[in-house]
Amino acid sequence: MAKKNKVVSQSLFSDNRKIPNPIFKTIDLFAGIGGIRLGFESVGGENVFSSEWDKYAQVTYQANFGEIPYGDITKIKPEEIPEFDVLLAGFPCQPFSQAGLKRGFSDTRGTLFFDIAKIVDYHRPRVVFLENVKRLKSHDGGNTLKIIKETLESMGYEVHAKVLNAKDFGVPQNRERIYIVAFLGKTNFQFPEVGGVETDVGDILEENVDGKYTISDKLWAGHKRRKLEHKEKGNGFGYTLFNRESPYTNTISARYYKDGSEILIEQKNKNPRKLSPREAARLQGYPDDFYIPVSDAQAYKQFGNSVAVPVICELAKKIAKEMETIKPYKDKRKSINLEKIMSENITATKDILVSSRK
């Protein structure tokens, strides 16, 4: 008997999920469970290659897209990837996160941007779409984002970057992320207009939720004790309660599986409860027919690490429209040495980290 969640086979190329009348081809790097892909499929994007190293995310990806992503993107050569028009990548955010060690390019995961750049340099796709945490904008005094933009510009791309909040796109979640959109040519691209969208947490809550999601007396007592301790220290850390009338929640994170403290749902005459995995999916804008084949703990990690799909859908609409009229630059491409750029910035970031500890 096959083990549960066993990945049976590996496919480098997408051929199981056909998009009717595709308009352009995409590749999905650091794919997670496919949230960015969903957004671009909604406007006619056909995916031809995917990459994701986490085995549990691969299980969810396979269950919903009919393919197993290639594992480690650093182990495949750019020339082995099929031709495509749009590169999609929600590359690792931990090196730039406020919650992490903020090592940036000195973190092995931080250098993965340069693996993206190698693929871009070889294939010259019409569009590069990147997503990351808000802190990327200010990381290392803005130098990290500056290097990313300059690297893409050196290859002839017009680069746009902006922080957008999921709650402005109909998702009842306060989730800010930076989106980087680069076009191989001149465009009139503008990020979507935001504001005026009302949201309610009740929109994503299920009517009947299993009692197992109600937190225990011990955990609830611990939450209240820690919140009081933080309050005495003068900060606002600790659990947060929400109900159906709340306009939006805090940001759901990959650590939600631990105790759910950032988003607890009030219950009458009961301890509060965690979101169910389906509610976590809805909080990120995933449709109810998105299959969740993994454990609750893995599901929380996957949706916490994912993207707000409605934001991606709106961005994809804008990008697809610009692709119809993009004007290629003439002779703007420069010869660049990615290895040199990467080496210089890794060294510079390490020097900053060493100096800060002295």
Confidence of residue 355 (pLDDT cuts 50, 70, 90): very low
Confidence of residue 127 (pLDDT cuts 50, 70, 90): very high
More confident call, 282 vs 353: 282
What six digits make up the tokens of 333?
């491409």
Average pLDDT over residues 41-66: 96
Counting Cα atoms < 13 Å in the Cβ hemisphere of 118 gives 20
Q: Is 93 an active-site residue?
A: yes
- pLDDT of residue 260 exceeding 50: yes
- Going by the DSSP 8-state scheme, the letter that residue 327 receives in this structure is B
Query: 201-305, superfamily in CATH?
Result: DNA Methylase, subunit A, domain 2 (3.90.120.10)
Domain 24-197+308-357 fold: Rossmann fold (3.40.50)
Closest CA to 148 of 117, 178, 191: 117
Q: How many CB atoms lie within 10 A of CB 222?
A: 15
Average pLDDT over residues 120-145: 90
More confident call, 278 vs 229: 278
Taking the alpha carbons at both ends of the chain, their separation in whole angstroms is 57
Mean pLDDT of the chain: 85
* Most confident region among 114-118, 196-200, 274-278, 327-331 by mean pLDDT: 274-278
What six digits make up the tokens of 22?
């595709």
| Annotated domain spans of the chain | 24-197+308-357, 201-305
More confident call, 109 vs 35: 35
More confident call, 92 vs 276: 276
- Going by the DSSP 8-state scheme, the letter that residue 264 receives in this structure is E
Confidence of residue 45 (pLDDT cuts 50, 70, 90): very high
Strand order, beta sheet including 127-133:
45-50, 24-29, 86-89, 127-133, 176-183, 158-165
Confidence of residue 78 (pLDDT cuts 50, 70, 90): very high
Q: Per-residue pLDDT tens for 290-349?
A: 999 999 999 999 999 999 999 999 999 999 999 998 877 665 555 566 666 556 654 443
Q: What is the pTM (predicted TM-score) of this model? A: 0.86
Residue type, 3: K
Q: Per-residue pLDDT tens for 178-228?
A: 999 999 999 999 999 887 788 999 999 999 999 999 999 999 999 999 888
User: What's the CA gap between 197 and 200, in Å, rounded?
Assistant: 10
Counting Cα atoms < 13 Å in the Cβ hemisphere of 16 gives 14
Average pLDDT over residues 81-90: 96
Q: Which residue has the tokens 């220290």?
A: 233
What six digits make up the tokens of 318?
């804008």
Average pLDDT over residues 215-243: 87
User: What's the CA gap between 282 and 118, in Å, rounded?
Assistant: 35
More confident call, 110 vs 57: 57
Q: Catalytic pick from 57, 93, 171, 205? A: 93
User: What's the CA gap between 186 and 184, in Å, rounded?
Assistant: 7
φ and ψ at 291, to 5 degrees?
-80, 135
User: What's the CA gap between 32 and 158, in Å, rounded?
Assistant: 27
